[in-house]
Amino acid sequence: MWPDILEAVKNKRRFTWILLSQNAQVTGFDGTTLRLGFINAGARDNFASSGSEEVLKQALAERFNAQWRVEAVVDTSGGGAAPPPLGGARPPAPQYQPA
């Protein structure tokens, strides 16, 4: 379901889609409030101050015909999106060992 919501957000505002897809994950839903865990405070604050929360709420309203609250928190559990690889380096090649 989250990938479908992200796709709807992408069609509305690409910046919000990038912010959510790379920095957030759903950490809870109680029927009225969608809780998003962000990988750090900067990403959460950027989401809150950029108008992205409203974009997400619009996408949710269109998809589910409901008005939900969005709660953006810093996810300290370490379960957020994986960080990008450092320097684009490939993993080392396996050592050749003759049979």
Whole-angstrom Cα distance, residue 78 to residue 37? 10
Q: Considering the domain boundaries, does residue 82 fall inside one? A: no
Q: Considering the domain boundaries, does residue 14 fall inside one? A: yes
Q: Considering the domain boundaries, does residue 93 fall inside one? A: no
Q: Considering the domain boundaries, does residue 28 fall inside one? A: yes
Model pLDDT for residues 82-97, shown as the tens digit of each residue = 443 333 444 444 455 5
Model pLDDT for residues 14-69, shown as the tens digit of each residue = 999 999 999 999 999 999 999 999 999 999 999 999 999 999 999 999 999 989 99
In Å, how far are 19, 20, 67, 80, 85 from 63, measured between CA atoms?
20, 17, 10, 24, 33
CATH number at residue 51: 3.30.300.180
pLDDT at position 79, please? 53
Query: How many folded domains does the chain comprise?
Result: 1
Tally DSSP H helices, then E strands, for the chain.
4, 3
Q: Considering the domain boundaries, does residue 91 fall inside one? A: no
Domain hosting residue 27, numbered range? 2-75
